[in-house]
Each structure stands twice: as C-alpha cells, then as structure tokens.
Amino acid sequence: MAAQEAVDSAAEIAVDSVRDREIGVEQDHLDLVYRRLEEKIHEAEFLMNDAAKRGHVGTPGALAERDAQVFRAGIHLNRLNNEFEDFLFGRIDLLRGKDGQKGPDGAYTAVEPAEGAVRDDNTADIAETLHIGRIGVLDADYSPMVIDWRAPAAAPFYRSTPVDPGRVVRRRVIRSKGRKVLGVEDDLMRPELTAYLDGQALPVVGDGALMAALGQARTHTMRDIVASIQAEQDLVIRAPAASVTYVEGGPGTGKTAVALHRAAYLLYQDRRRYAGGILIVSPTPLLVAYTEGVLPSLGEEGQVAIRAVGSLVDGAEATVYDAPSVARVKGSSRMLRVLRKAARGALELGPARGSAAPAGPPTRLRVVAFGRRLELEGEQLGRIRRAALGGTAPVNLLRPRARKLLLDALWEQSGAGSRHTDPELAAELRSSFDEDISSEDDFIAFLDAWWPELTPRRVLTAMGDEKLLGRWARRELNPGEVRRIARSLRRDALSVHDVALLDELQAILGTPAKPRKKRELDPLDQLTGLEELMPVREESSRERAERLAQERTEYAHVIVDEAQDLTPMQWRMIGRRGRHATWTIVGDPAQSSWSDPDEAAEARDEALGTRPRRRFTLTVNYRNPSEIAELASRVLTLAMPGSAAPSAVRSTGVQPRFAVVRGDGMAGTVRAEASRLLDQVDGTVGVVVAMQRREEAARWLAGLGERVVALGSLEAKGLEYDATVVVSPAEIADESPAGLRVLYVALTRATQQLTVVSAERDEPDASGMPDLLRD
Ligand SMILES: Nc1ncnc2c1ncn2[C@@H]1O[C@H](COP(=O)(O)OP(=O)(O)OP(=O)(O)O)[C@@H](O)[C@H]1O
C-alpha cells in the first residue's frame, strides 16, 4: 500500500513539474507579447501627443488631421488597455501544411498536412506553433505573435477534432490573468502520433479545457467561451453572413453563446458593412443583463445593440405579464386587422384629452369665403373621411389628403369654379381660395380635431374601451376576448405583447415629417465660425452604443435569440428593423412558450422574405449533466413526442433530488431545499416557480443572500445556475397551453444539481417523484 502511494505521489510530482514547465513556456511567450504591446501603447500615446501638438497649428487642415489621428490612436489605446486582461488564451501546434503559403495574418494557410508530414513510424515534427487571443499582435517583423480568434488562421483551433484533426496535433487552452499565466489544459487531436517540438517529445497537460470550463461555478453573468468553442459551434459562428443563418439546438447547446460570438466575428470580418449596426434581440431583460458582458469581453461594444423584445420601441418598456389567454390573442396576427380598424376608428374620437380643442369629434365645418358661409356636416364629412382613408399611406400621413378633399368640397359648394371659364384664372382663384381657407383659424381648429394626429399610445389606450374595441374587433375577436384584451389595456403598465402592438400602430399611423431641429450653436462660436472646426467631444463606447441604439431603426444584421418564443406580431416588429439585413436566427422549438408555432413560423417567414436559409443544428448539451438531461427528456417526450434531446457532454454522478411539500407548507420546503443547495455549490441557485407565484417565492427566500434568486417559469428562459429548485412541475405545466415546453425550459437550467419540489397536485410517488416526470 505504502509502495503504491509512493509510486502515485512520484507520478503526481512528475505531472506537476511538466505542468509548471509548460506554464513557464507560455509565460515566456506572454512576456514577449506584453513587451510588444507596451511598445504599441507608446506608439499610440506618441500619436496622440503628436496630434495634440498639431492642434496648435490651427489651420483647418491640421485640425482635421489631428482629429483623425486622435480618433485612431484613441481606439488603439482603448483596445489595448481593455484587452490586456486575459487576452491570450490558446495555442495550436501544427504539422507541416500542404501549400507552404502564408495568409494575410502571417500564418500558413493550409488546413491539411503535407504529404510525408507524418512519418511511416507514426512520428512527426511540429512545423508551426500559433498563439490565439482576443486581438492579433504582430512582432516588429510582422510575424504573428498572437492571432485574433476570428482570423481564418485561428479556425483550426476550433475546428480540429480527433476525428478530423487537419494539421493540429495539440490544442492548448492557456488560462491567464493580466500578465500571469495560471494554467494550461491540452487536448490531443492526434493521440496516435508521437510528435516532436524542437527535438523534444510534445508534452501534454491536463484533461482538456472544455471540461474545466464547464465545471466552473456560475455567476449572474455569462462568460465568453472563446477558449473552448467546439467545432459544430465554430461552423455557425463563422458561417457567411449572407441571407439567413438558422440555428436549432436543444437546451444548453450554446445557442446564445454562439449568437454572441457570431456578432463579434461578423464585425471583425467586415467592420465597414456592420457599421450599420447589429441588433441582438433577446426574450427578457434578465437574459440581456446576463449576456451583456460577453461582447465587451470579446472586444466589441459600440456596434452591437442587445435589446429585450419588450424594449425595442423607444419610450416603451414592458414591465408586466399578460395572462396566457390574453397573450395568445395579442400576439396573434388577427390583431393586425384589429389595429388597422382601431387606428382609423380612433380618428373619430376627436382631439386628445388635454388639448385646447373641445372634447369629442367636431360634427360641422363652417368657414366664410367670398362673403358667404360654407358648411360641411354629417354624411358629407363621413364621405370625405372614407374617401381620404381609401389611400394606402399611413393614417397620419393621409391628413393632407383629407385637407385637400375638404377644400374640394368647400370649393364646390362655393360655386366659384363655374364662374370662370378661363382655366388659368380659375386655377389662380382656386389656389388663393385654398390658401385663404387653410389659414383660417376655424378651419385649422376643425382639421386638428377632425383628423387629429394620432400616437400609438392614444390608439392603444382607446382600445381599452370595451365598446370601442368591440366595434373595431367585431370580425376578429369574440366578446370574451374583447373583454379580456380591453381590460388588460386599461392598466398603466405595458406587457411585452403591448410593445409589439405599439410598434405595429406606429407603422399603421406613420410619423408626420417634422422640421429638423437645428443644433443650438453658441452665439460666440457662430460669430467666429469656430463651431465648425471644434472637434466633437469624444464619446465613450457605451455612450456611442446607446446613441446608436436610439437613433437606429434598422440594422445591417439581426440576431434573434430564443426565436421560438416570438409571436407573429413580434416577428413583424423585428422584421421592420431588418428589412435590408442579413439574419441569424437561433432557437429551439421544444422550448417554445408560444401556443401556435405554425402561425409564428408563417410570420417569421414573412419577416425574412425569400432570402435563402442556411440551417445548422447543434447537438451537444454543455450545460446539464446527463443525470438532469435524462430527467428533462421525459418532459420533452410529453411536450413534443418524437423529438430528440441533445446529448449531455458530462455526468456528475449526482441524481436529481425529489422533495415533497409537507407540514410546513411550500414556503418552508422550498426555502430548506434552496439553503441545502447553497451549501452544496459555490455559485448560483435558481428557484423556478409558476408565474403566479413569483412574488411569494421571492419572499420565501428572503435573507438567503445574493447567490439565490426566485424566477417565474417564463423568466428562466436562457438563464443558468449551478443548481435549481423547480417548484411544482404540474403547476408550471398547467399554467399555459405551452406549459409542458415551459416546464422543459425550467428543468434544463442547472449545471450541477436539480431539486424538484412536488405539491399534492403533482401526485408524487413514494420516492417523491411527480407524476409528470415518471418514466
Ligand atoms: N464550447 C463551449 N465551451 C465552454 N462552455 C460552453 C461551450 N458551449 C456552451 N457552453 C456553456 O454551456 C452553457 C449553455 O450555453 P447557452 O446558454 O449558450 O446555451 P443555449 O443553447 O442558448 O441554451 P438554452 O436554449 O437552454 O437557453 C453556457 O454556460 C455556456 O457558456
């Protein structure tokens, strides 16, 4: 026994010394890279100082040049400073390549080994070593010291697998913090080979980087996966941007991670094109907050807007949830016809409350022309309104047409047209008639009240009146639906579905062209003309991102995460933001909380038009251990018979735990289970309950600290925790028509441990397992 221990400990010491040596090798390289980076920072600072000096010259040309230099140097400095932290993370050791050509990044381009690179006795020499990082760094001779992870030469780091290794022999992930290398993890892509580097056998350290990454404790923010992107994910990230890239995959297959890395890749690959902005649409503000840090960690911030689907309309923010029966109607494309009717109907309500004009629609137009009184009323006005609304333009933009039709009717009533036979004279008279009437106060007041400028909010509020909505929705909704929708629109706050309705209304109403506001100038600058030459204050990248997000209504590329949840009305809203865009759509039909997937698919296809689709499927579950994945797959079988769950990449040996609510009630049981998990894991614990219990669940957990959160089932979308407590599967499943799929989402959030708490309605068996989860 003692002898065996001595052998084991000798082996451990040997492994440790190889590890230390290899860490030292990478440390040497990192030191060199830092030295080079410091030189570059000095260069950038010199550029900035030099540019500042030129500012004293004062000619417009020198100032413009100074601005350009400061801008470039500022970007450079910013990137270098930001990306110093943990920016070198990978290395590949490669066999000699087929073509012997170097690509633009200084690395050899061939993916396949040259003939003879592997000798007959299965030995080979390493011909090239590449380091991969968040940015590329060249040495003074333009040889690559670090290759940007998005460059073509870095692709083998991600693509190579033991099945299809290409030139890669060893793939190494380097863990570093600031200037210090902390560890290395190797994967051998050609384990059958004995490879030599500089005459020495190639050492191998660790059990592989992926497992190390997956086992880490979770925090409340997502980490990038740049060091361990897997081959099937890499294919999606680097897929050409053309048309529509469609990615499906079960829970935990990395869809969100892939979507974020793809945004960074697209920017790297064609920054000019994506200056038009990339929009990432996320289902909830929680998921936005969870994923927000990933792009900055990849060195990208300014061009990408991540927005929750309930925050896509400026000035509107979804803060409440609709009951499933209300959501089902509001999200459906039936609402389109209701909104068109409502937008037209709301014209008849007269001026907005609070405006100077008398309340209610005016019934009579009275003006004086050629010394006589002209009047339009009743049916005549109704006819004119209907004729004006026959136009195809948005309702607010039809106002000039309505004005013209009113003037036509008044002109006809005046009889002046028949008094002049000379067409030129008649036209002149008509134009001065129009001008006189249009500037009359009575006419202006009438038009404002009779064809008020409508805002989406005003129409939506009007739809809260059950009688009016009943009239506008007569052909589309039944009386029960009208009652429920009207009631939901009478509350102060908006739901995610209301936001899509507002956006649709904006499209139906249109925005009348406003005169452009002139920028206010400092009077002194105006006198000296200095204003033109002053450089604009530099924005921080966050300010810039916010400004772009506000100014922008259309994007060059749109990425939709959790696309399976979008309703037809939401697809229309997002479609308007990407009319000329290329798209990446990421989703999993099995996790859809929308009750009519076919209708949503139709709306999606309409939003995407006829652009060709490129489809990818992700097949490996990186989040859940097999023990949790197996349990969740039972619900998948109920929710979507015949569909396959992704295969879990690891197992922990810890089975899900089943607890049953007993004497002390649900609050006590859930609190006790959450506390237990807090003791067992280092990271976060999520407690998922039916939507109706969200608030009480937060109270159950009061005082347990920040590592634990309570979530409604719909809020859990896309998030993950070290451990989860899923409370009453039956309650979650019964809450909506898509309840089983929502339960599937809830059960697939944990990276380590899952506890299921059952109440009476779950019909638990003797072991506490609820009916829905039994095999
Ligand atoms: N290649 C990888 N290396 C390391 N971690 C990975 C990798 N791919 C995915 N992960 C991790 O797996 C987890 C799940 O990823 P992600 O949330 O992107 O999956 P998803 O497909 O969007 O899941 P869901 O559909 O359930 O929301 C995350 O913690 C992510 O960091």
Residue 203 CA to ligand 1 centre (angstroms):
30
Count of the separate structural domains present in the chain = 3
User: Do 26 and 164 share a domain, yes or no?
Assistant: yes
Which residue range is the domain that position 341 belongs to? 229-349+452-512+543-618
Where residue 33 falls among pLDDT bands split at 50, 70, 90? confident
530 within some domain = no
Q: What is the distance between the alpha carbons of residues 557 and 243, in angstroms, rounded to a whole number?
A: 10
Choose the residue to mutate in 158, 214, 585 for probing ligand 1, maximizing ligand atoms within 8 Å of C-beta: 214
Judged against a pLDDT cut of 60, whether residue 721 lies above it is answered with: yes
User: Do 113 and 161 share a domain, yes or no?
Assistant: yes
pLDDT for 520 equals 42
CA distances from 213 to 56, 218, 233, 306 (A): 53, 10, 16, 25
- Of the three residues 153, 186, 214, the one that is the final residue of a domain is 214
Percent of the residues in the chain that have a pLDDT greater than 70, as a whole number:
84
599 within some domain = yes
pLDDT tens per residue, range 659-693: 999 866 999 999 999 999 999 999 999 999 999 99
Q: Assess whether the C-beta atom of 334 lies below 6 angstroms from ligand 1.
A: no
Segment 437-450 shows an average pLDDT of 87
Judged against a pLDDT cut of 90, whether residue 483 lies above it is answered with: yes
Judged against a pLDDT cut of 50, whether residue 524 lies above it is answered with: no
658 within some domain = yes
Residue 188 CA to ligand 1 centre (angstroms):
23
pLDDT for 58 equals 56
pLDDT tens per residue, range 268-296: 888 888 877 899 999 999 999 999 888 87
Q: What is the distance between the alpha carbons of residues 616 and 245, in angstroms, rounded to a whole number?
A: 8
Is 404 annotated as a binding-site member? no
Judged against a pLDDT cut of 80, whether residue 477 lies above it is answered with: yes
User: Do 265 and 334 share a domain, yes or no?
Assistant: yes
Compute the residue count for the chain.
775
pLDDT for 663 equals 67
Judged against a pLDDT cut of 90, whether residue 703 lies above it is answered with: yes
Q: Assess whether the C-beta atom of 255 lies below 6 angstroms from ligand 1.
A: yes
Segment 341-367 shows an average pLDDT of 77
User: Do 204 and 243 share a domain, yes or no?
Assistant: no
Looking at every residue in the chain, the average pLDDT score rounds to 84
- Poorest-pLDDT segment among 102-111, 421-430, 459-468, 582-591: 102-111
410 within some domain = no
Helix (H, G, I), strand (E, B) or coil at 363: coil
CATH number for the domain harbouring residue 643: 3.40.50.300
User: Do 210 and 267 share a domain, yes or no?
Assistant: no
Q: What is the distance between the alpha carbons of residues 250 and 645, in angstroms, rounded to a whole number?
A: 6
Residue 216 CA to ligand 1 centre (angstroms):
13
Cβ-contact 118, 189 below 8 angstroms: no
User: Do 103 and 182 share a domain, yes or no?
Assistant: yes
364 within some domain = no
Q: What is the distance between the alpha carbons of residues 228 and 364, in angstroms, rounded to a whole number?
A: 73
Segment 435-455 shows an average pLDDT of 88
pLDDT for 36 equals 84
User: Do 156 and 286 share a domain, yes or no?
Assistant: no
User: Do 104 and 244 share a domain, yes or no?
Assistant: no
Which amino acid is residue 337, in one-letter code? R
User: Do 188 and 305 share a domain, yes or no?
Assistant: no
pLDDT for 209 equals 65
pLDDT tens per residue, range 60-97: 566 555 555 555 555 555 665 655 557 788 999 999 88
522 within some domain = no
Helix (H, G, I), strand (E, B) or coil at 535: coil
User: Do 80 and 189 share a domain, yes or no?
Assistant: yes
The pTM (predicted TM-score) of the whole model is 0.81
Segment 361-369 shows an average pLDDT of 83
420 within some domain = no
- Of the three residues 596, 618, 640, the one that is the final residue of a domain is 618
Cβ-contact 302, 457 below 8 angstroms: no
Strand ranges, E, within 62-121: 88-94
72 within some domain = yes
pLDDT for 518 equals 41
Q: Assess whether the C-beta atom of 251 lies below 6 angstroms from ligand 1.
A: yes
User: Do 137 and 260 share a domain, yes or no?
Assistant: no
Judged against a pLDDT cut of 70, whether residue 128 lies above it is answered with: yes
Q: Which of 490, 496, 483 is nearest to 460 (CA)?
A: 490
User: Do 344 and 487 share a domain, yes or no?
Assistant: yes
pLDDT for 439 equals 86
